[in-house]
Structure 1
């Protein structure tokens, strides 16, 4: 019986340490990836500034072939909105473009509904570098307790960053093929 008590106390201590580590982990996060594209910013910008064009390059669009998508507001630029609802992988959420400066940047608010609620800021920047463009895709926000705890087990930067890298590679392929 003593060994069972020691195991239970040890297990409780491990759980307490895990919860304590999650509680003191920073809530703020930034995930960012960049790619160099052999095309001018003007050739890349329209593919990001218009949600109707995201299906061609965004890896998130491929998570559910039956995803329901609706668009509202102007067709592109400030005020353009995109709502999706899909399977467990795709989840549900909404993006709204909040700032759009041609060939410079596109900023948006990303509101997740499921599998968890969160509001994040997303930004794409287009910086000329010689005859090429450095495109950076970033997402930032604040995590609640559960995502901070989950982040102790799974490297969220690596997980989401991998999708950003795939999307940037597809965006690169599209922009370079048209150039």
Structure 2
């Protein structure tokens, strides 16, 4: 009995120390990717401002092959959204800001996960023939130590998919 009591107290103290240690870690994870697309800003903006176009380049448009997508009546600009529901999860992406000179900002709500704020910013290069693109996501992690650990892994989890998406977007825009 004494061993069980000592084990319980030790586990409680160890858990408390891990929680207190996790408080010094950031409560937000940011993942960023940049690139240059050899196409005018208008061409790139057209593909990032229309959620139906996301199917051709965004790796997360179909996170689950069984997912069904539903689009807003107007899938372009502020207020546009699409949602998905599949065997693995369900969620919704909503455009919260859209400006040809600045890019597109969105929120992504996924079941059983914290909301994600993201943006795809575009800017013409100095010569005006290409587009510099900056894709970023900000994930609120909260206070739980296991979410903060996932925050450290966010770049490894989401970064390769973002690279893949930018490469595909570049391929599509440069082809036209």
| Fold-level similarity (TM above 0.5) | yes
Bigger shift: 43-52 or 98-107?
A: 98-107
In 2, distance between residues paired with 1:63 and 1:79?
22
Tell me the distance in 2 between the aligned counterparts of 1:86 and 1:103.
35
1:121 and 2:117 are equivalent in the alignment? yes
Q: Which moved more, 1:133-142 or 1:48-57?
A: 133-142
Specify the alignment match of 2:28 in structure 1.
Answer: 28
* Distance in 2 between residues matched to 1:134 and 1:25, nearest whole Å: 32
Kept in 1: contact 2:27–2:148 (CA 8 A): no
Contact between 1:92 and 1:115, CA under 8 Å: does it hold in 2?
Answer: no
Segments of 5+ residues of structure 1 without an aligned counterpart are none
Distance (Å, rounded) in 2 between the aligned partners of 1:77 and 1:56: 18
| Distance in structure 2 (CA, Å) of the matches to 1:139 and 1:8 | 40
| Alignment partners' CA distance in 2, 1:164 and 1:143 | 20
Which residue of the partner structure matches residue 172 of structure 2?
174
- How far, CA to CA, are the matches of 2:101 and 2:42 in structure 1? 5
- How far, CA to CA, are the matches of 1:142 and 1:115 in structure 2? 13
CA displacement at 1:8 relative to structure 2: 8.4
| Cα distance change on mapping 1:104 and 1:150 into 2, 3 Å | closer
Matched, 1:105 2:113: no
> Which runs of structure 2 are paired with 1:1-179 in the superposition (5 Å)?
15-88=15-88, 91-112=89-110, 114-116=111-113, 118-129=114-125, 130=127, 131-146=129-144, 148-152=145-149, 155-178=153-176
Alpha-carbon shift at residue 38 of structure 1 (Å): 0.7
| TM-score normalised by structure 1 residue count | 0.81
CA RMSD across the alignment: 2.6
Q: Deviations over 1:110-135 (max 9, x none)?
A: 222x232x222211111111322111
